[in-house]
Every structure is written in C-alpha cells, then in structure tokens.
Structure 1
Amino acid sequence: MNEQKVSSLNHLELWTLWKEHGDIEAKKKLIENYLHIVDYVSSRLAIGLPKNISKDDLASNGVMGLIDAVDKFDYKRGYQFETYGSWRVRGAILDSLRQGDWVPRSVREKAKKIEDAFQHLEQNYLRSVNDSEMSEYLGVSEKEYHNMLQEVAVMTLCSLEDPIREEETETRLSMLIDENAKNPDYKVNEHYLKEALVKGIEKLTDKERTVVSLLYYEDLSLSEIAEVMSLSPSRISQLHSKAILRLRGTLEKNKKLLMENN
C-alpha cells in the first residue's frame, strides 16, 4: 500500500496491515505514531544522568527498542501498545547504558557507603535517621552529603540484570521465581520479601514516601513531582535516592537474615 493511503488508516488497520500482510509502510507509520514514547521515556531517564550522556543518545537507543516492540507486539491480545512499548524502549536504553559502563566506580562506591550507612544506623536506632546523623556517620558536611545523593541518583536506574551487590554475581533476575512451579519455599520467601518491603517503606520519611508513590504509582516525572511538592528537581532527586538506598539496605538485611535462618 502506498504511503498516502497508509497515512489515513487508524491504528488497528495499521497493525493488521503490518502483522497480517507484512506491509512495511504500515510498520513505518506505526513507528512514527509511537515516537512520542521514546521522547517521554528518554526525557525521564535523562534526569540525574551524567552530563556527558545526552538525551539524543538515549533517544537513539530508545528508537531501536521501539522498532523491536513493533516487531514483537501481538495486537490481537487487546493490550495497549503504549504500555508494552514503554517497557521495551526503557529496557533498550538501560541496556545501552550498562554496556557503556555509564556509572563511574567512584559513584558506585558512594552509593554503597550510603546504603550501608542507612542499614547500620537504622538497625542501631530502630528508626529512620536524618541527614545530620547520616552526614556525621559518613564524616562529611550535610551539603557534601546532599551532593553525594545527587551524584548517586544515576544508581536508582536499576535493571533486573544488575548485580544485587557490586561484588556479587547474583542478579535480581535470578531471584525471580516461576509462580507456576511447585516450589515449597516460594510462599515463605514471598512473605518475607513483602514483610521487608513494608518495614522499609515504614522507615521512609513522609516526603520520601510521597516521591516514591508519585514516581512509581502515579507515573509522574521528577520535574512534575517537584511542582506538586513545591521543591526543586534536585531536592526531589535527593529524596528519591535516599528512599531507594533505604529500601535496598532493608532488603539486604532481610537477605542476610534468610541466609542465616537457612
């Protein structure tokens, strides 16, 4: 079908042409129609990344993810392509970032120090610790601590294929369990994981919980959250970093307890 006729078709007709008849013009039109997904995802991921990584680079890899999504999407199942496409685009961008070794070792070390500090102090105090207590433990000023949080913001872009701890080979993906498999340990592990997450979320401050909720449940960008909470985007980034590192510390502690009990 020629390009002019393809342009006048709706999405369902385009999907039918591409999937049932292999019409390349229909595929091109679908990709063009969904390019806004690439712009949205790359804009969100660009927040907090090092300045040497441009949004254009992210978008280029995102387009590859979009093309792959258009190739693999099953339109007959009745799902929204936007949801599926967003995951594929995000995955392609994160894959490219990991392959490019985009996080300096120094940043990883700072993230680990902060995570360990949260775990140690909150285990001792049995409550959430504030910025002054964290900065004192780390031996830095509060301003330097806030700068550290800003730097490690890039570490909150995680993947299931990333190691749970830098020195380990076990990944988050390796811990996923097939719910259909007859594994007697699954329900127990699921219970303890949920329990650990609940405890971790309870330790978050009100602002940290709000940021996590708006980001992951309401799907707002960091800049949009900044407007809602009347705070600067950098402050939102810091709150997000603290929340993620607190939760990681809680999950790490839970993992150690499970290993000791087993």
Structure 2
Amino acid sequence: MYTAKGRLDHNAMLQQYSPLVRRLAHQMIAKLPANVEIDDLIQVGMIGLNDALSRYDAAHGVQFETFATQRIRGAMLDELRGADWMSRGTRKQQRMIEAAVHKLEQRLGRPPQESEIAREMGITLAEYQDLLNKVRGTQLVYIEDIGGSDKDDYLDRHVADTEADPLRILNDQRLRRALVEAIKTLPEREQYVMSMYYEQDMNLKEIAAVLGVTESRVCQLHSQSIARLRVKLRGW
C-alpha cells in the first residue's frame, strides 16, 4: 500500500498487518504461563510492527510479512525477557505434577486419571485443575530431556523463532519418533488436543469449540498432556 507520492502508507499497513500481530500473540501466549497477558503481547507486538514498517527495504528481497514477523516476535521476546514472568515456584509446581504422574504410571501401569494425580499430590481435583492452568506453557517438551542440560534459555528453546525453535526441535527425527510413540499412550481426548494444537495448528479457543468444553478446560488438558509426555521422554 502506497501513498500518492509512492511511499508506504504507514497507517494503512498498520491496519492491514495488525491481525498478524494478534495471531502471533495468540500463538505465543499458549506457550507461556497464565500470568502473561495477551493484551500486553499485542501492544508490544504493534511496536514491533511499527519498527518493521520503518526499517523495511524491499530491495533486500525479503517479503514484508516475513520481515515483520521477525520484528514482532523479537519485540515480544524482548518484553518477556525483561520481566520476571516465569517464577521458580511455577517450575517447581510443574515438576511436582510430573513426579506424581511418574509415580502413578509406575504403580498403576496406565495413564493416571486427574483425580488420581490430585490425590497423589494431596490436593483436591479443583486445586489440581487450577494448577494445570497456572503452569500452562511451562511444560513444553525440552530437547535436553533426552539427554542434555537444563541451563539454556527457555524462551529461545520454546518461543523464539531461532535455530532452537520448537519446529526445529520437533523436526529432529529421534525426538520426533519418541514423541509419536509417547502421544499414542495419551488418553484419547488428550490425543485429540495434541493433534489439533500441533498438527492442525488450531488455537485453544478453536479446540474448545470442537470438543464442546471451555477454553480453560482445553488449557488443562494440554498442560496435563505435556506433563505426561515429559514423563515419557525424560530420563528418570
């Protein structure tokens, strides 16, 4: 979109690509804890879009949407890195869920039900489900769970569009095979959630509509699925 003088129409471009900012924000929020606000990501993403409009040069041979996506993601990641968004307490709660799942699977010889996990943790079912909402996104499968360290940056591994981005990790054939086998062991509904989220690229709201449940419930099922997968893939 250009003005009469042949320059990019800044306002028109902002309006045209604002849905891209929202889409990237929603993709990223699903990988982050519940305390991160979607509106904050969108606001920062719009700043990244504005920066992309100011810096874009078509002579470099890169499509604007590709260039803008990098700038928008970068702005969101910078904001997240500058905030204490993932507490040690949240990571500890994540490990507690995984430990309970691991113990029950060893004892029962099958995937434990939510009520059984809650009982193992000494909390009510409602408290357990609330905990699943709180640890949303902090449980994505780590490549180091198959034999590496836990010292590299979480954002670079699971949110950033870098060499360590989730798609690159999932394309690792050894991990991919292990994931496929682990997903087959999930309860049926959780298999549906993982398939719709990762294979069909549906967001939580869309999955909720298909399953006829709330978005919060899908979030719980997703968190629980990832906890089960981490138990399967980690070297306990």
TM over 0.5: yes
Aligned amino acid, residue 150 of structure 2: E
Which residue matches 2:167?
Answer: none
The answer as to whether partners of 1:163 and 1:169 remain within 8 angstroms in 2 is no
Shift in CA distance, 26/139, structure 1 to aligned 2, threshold 3 Å: same
Give the gaps of 5 or more residues in structure 1: 7-16, 18-22, 178-189, 257-262
Matches within 5 A, 1:127-138: 127-138=110-121
- What TM-score does the superposition give when structure 1 sets the normalisation length? 0.66
What are the Cα deviations for residues 35-75 of structure 1, in whole angstroms up to 9, with x where unaligned? 11112333455568545x54332112212443565646879
The answer as to whether partners of 1:94 and 1:159 remain within 8 angstroms in 2 is no
Q: 2: CA distance between counterparts of 1:229 and 1:201?
A: 18
Q: 2: CA distance between counterparts of 1:94 and 1:108?
A: 19
Give the gaps of 5 or more residues in structure 2: 158-162, 165-171
Which residue matches 2:194?
Answer: 212
Which residue matches 2:184?
Answer: 202
What are the Cα deviations for residues 66-106 of structure 1, in whole angstroms up to 9, with x where unaligned? 3565646879868793x675565345324422330112332
Q: 1: CA distance between counterparts of 2:115 and 2:222?
A: 18
Aligned partner of 2:80 among 71, 83, 97 = 97
Matches within 5 A, 1:1-262: 3=3, 5=4, 23=7, 25-26=8-9, 29-43=12-26, 45-46=28-29, 50=34, 53-67=36-50, 71=55, 81=65, 85-86=68-69, 89-156=72-139, 168-170=150-152, 190-253=172-235
The answer as to whether partners of 1:212 and 1:240 remain within 8 angstroms in 2 is yes
Shift in CA distance, 125/76, structure 1 to aligned 2, threshold 3 Å: farther
Shift in CA distance, 125/193, structure 1 to aligned 2, threshold 3 Å: farther
Percent identity, aligned pairs only, is 30
The answer as to whether partners of 2:56 and 2:67 remain within 8 angstroms in 1 is no
> How far did residue 131 of structure 1 move?
1.1
Q: 2: CA distance between counterparts of 1:110 and 1:148?
A: 8
Q: Larger Cα Rg: Structure 1 or Structure 2?
A: 1
> How far did residue 252 of structure 1 move?
1.8
- What TM-score does the superposition give when structure 2 sets the normalisation length? 0.72
Q: 2: CA distance between counterparts of 1:146 and 1:129?
A: 14
Moved over 6 A (4+): 72-80
Q: 2: CA distance between counterparts of 1:49 and 1:191?
A: 28
> How far did residue 155 of structure 1 move?
2.1
Q: 1: CA distance between counterparts of 2:62 and 2:2?
A: 27
What are the Cα deviations for residues 107-160 of structure 1, in whole angstroms up to 9, with x where unaligned? 22111111232234334544322112211221112221111111111425x698
Q: 1: CA distance between counterparts of 2:108 and 2:141?
A: 31
Task: State how many pairs are aligned.
Answer: 219
TM-align CA RMSD: 3.9
The answer as to whether partners of 1:153 and 1:238 remain within 8 angstroms in 2 is yes
Aligned amino acid, residue 225 of structure 1: I
The answer as to whether partners of 1:223 and 1:233 remain within 8 angstroms in 2 is yes
**Highest RCO, 1 vs 2 (Cα 8 Å, sep ≥ 6):** 2
